[in-house]
């Protein structure tokens, strides 16, 4: 039986994702992508199940503040002006406030939504936090968000292949969590490894036959 709270969360997730799809279909796809990456990575890290669930939901809602931005800016087919960049960067606080206003109290969800563009060297936004102030949950959502953003097609940037994205992220090691990035790369490499159809025993049997 699904707990009552989980049913409520599922309903709220559906509400937010319907709003995202209506506002900007690319935003909706990005949210689902980050959510699935968070689910995979938190399972790979063997985190407790409640944290896996919370991180999956945080990935889904991390960019929800973009609902308050003009779709014309989100879908602009050319690089943003400095003024437009400032407007887009407001999505972190806007999302945090929207979730609070709608009765969300989960601290992990609220902090990941507000802080997922912070960077360990203090070069992020909105508060220029540094490593000691950035939680593990935020670091996980940030990695998944950066990887998703690089591997999704954008109006003016071609999508990178998964290994190109990892190579680019490796150059951001002073901004992203070094140990988590190594784990994320291991997981991605395993996910993209060619499938061994027969396994060691199957391969031995095949050799005997020939
Ligand atoms: Fe974001
Ligand atoms: Fe994002």
If you measure from the C-alpha of residue 193 to the centroid of ligand 2, how many angstroms do you get, rounded to a whole number?
A: 26
Å from CA of 189 to ligand 2 middle:
22
User: Closest-lying ligand to the alpha carbon of 31?
Assistant: 2
Quote the domain boundaries for residue 36.
Answer: 4-209
Averaged pLDDT for residues 39-47: 98
Task: Report which bound ligand comes closest to the CA of 141.
Answer: 2
| Secondary-structure breakdown of the chain: helix, strand, coil percentages, each rounded to the nearest 5 | 70, 0, 30
Please determine, for residue 17, whether its predicted confidence score (pLDDT) is greater than 70: yes
Q: What is the pLDDT of residues 155-198, one digit of tens each?
A: 778 899 999 999 999 999 799 999 999 999 999 999 998 876 66
Write the CATH number for 196.
1.10.3210.10
Predicted pLDDT at 194: 82
Tokens of 173: 């090691």
Count up the domains in the chain and report the number: 1
209 has pLDDT over 60: no
| Spacing, Cα 7 to ligand 1 middle (Å) | 26
107-144 pLDDT per residue, tens: 999 999 999 999 999 999 999 999 999 999 999 999 99
User: Ligand 2: distance of its center to the CA of 7 in Å?
Assistant: 25
Other CB atoms within a 10 A radius of the CB of residue 115 amount to 24
**What is the predicted pLDDT for the residue at 210?**
46
Write phi, then psi, for 109 (nearest 5 degrees): -65, -45
pTM recorded for the entire structure: 0.90
């Amino acid at each position: 039986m699904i707990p009552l709270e989980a049913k409520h969360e599922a309903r709220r997730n559906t509400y937010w994702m319907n709003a995202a799809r209506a506002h900007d279909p690319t935003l909706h796809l990005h949210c689902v992508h980050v959510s699935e990456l968070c689910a995979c990575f938190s399972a790979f890290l063997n985190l407790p199940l409640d944290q896996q669930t919370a991180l999956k939901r945080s990935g889904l809602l991390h960019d929800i503040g973009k609902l308050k931005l003009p779709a014309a800016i989100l879908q602009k087919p050319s690089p943003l002006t400095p003024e437009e960049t400032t407007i887009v960067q407001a999505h972190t606080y806007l999302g945090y406030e929207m979730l609070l206003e709608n009765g969300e109290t989960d601290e992990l969800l609220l902090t990941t939504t507000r802080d997922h563009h912070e960077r360990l060297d203090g070069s992020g936004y909105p508060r220029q936090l540094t490593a000691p102030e950035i939680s593990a949950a935020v670091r996980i959502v940030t990695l998944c968000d950066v990887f998703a953003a690089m591997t999704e097609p954008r109006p003016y940037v071609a999508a990178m292949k998964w290994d190109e994205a990892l190579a680019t992220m490796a150059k951001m090691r002073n901004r992203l969590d070094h140990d988590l990035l190594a784990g994320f790369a291991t997981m991605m490499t395993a996910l993209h490894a060619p499938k061994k159809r027969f396994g060691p025993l199957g391969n031995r049997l095949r050799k005997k036959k020939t």
